[in-house]
Amino acid sequence: MAAPLMHSVTIDAKPDKIYEAISTGAGLASFWTSDSEAEPRVGSIARFGFGGPEVEMKVEELRPGELVRWSTYAGFPGWSGTTVTWEIVPSTDGAQEVRFSHSGWAADMPQAELASVNYTWGRIAGRLKKYAETGKPAPFFP
């Protein structure tokens, strides 16, 4: 297995606001891709479109205000068997730390591709912060 892709961002917002952003279609459409279909229900399939390619993820675990975990169900080559986790942890002064990881990558996944995906996830984490703090949608993939 390749090392997981990881990011951490401190967000000045309540855990429930962040959880709504990372667990619902409307929330995910506000910072990731405007073509998002998701519901906060374990076992459901979340679908994300990117103007052609799509990825589907199964909602594996939910803890309101704390955690969202998906496993790749279908879509991008190389993503099969990977897991995306968003963990919300209290930080200082009422802020929250969101710990993001995308794990389960095959050992033979090209490093350049992993670097590109990781860079994109970092930018998406920044969009999550902006949306959760301001309430203004700005999807990375409009």
pLDDT of residue 77: 87
- Which tens digits make up the pLDDT trace of 20-47? 999 999 999 999 999 999 999 999 999 9
Domains of the chain, residue spans:
5-134
pLDDT of residue 135: 97
- Which tens digits make up the pLDDT trace of 114-135? 999 999 999 999 999 999 999 9
Nearest C-alpha neighbor of 25 from the set 2, 43, 49: 49
Q: Check: CB of residue 94 under 8 Å from CB of residue 12.
A: yes
What CATH number is given for 5-134 in this structure?
3.30.530.20
Q: How confident is the model at residue 6 (pLDDT cuts 50, 70, 90)?
A: very high
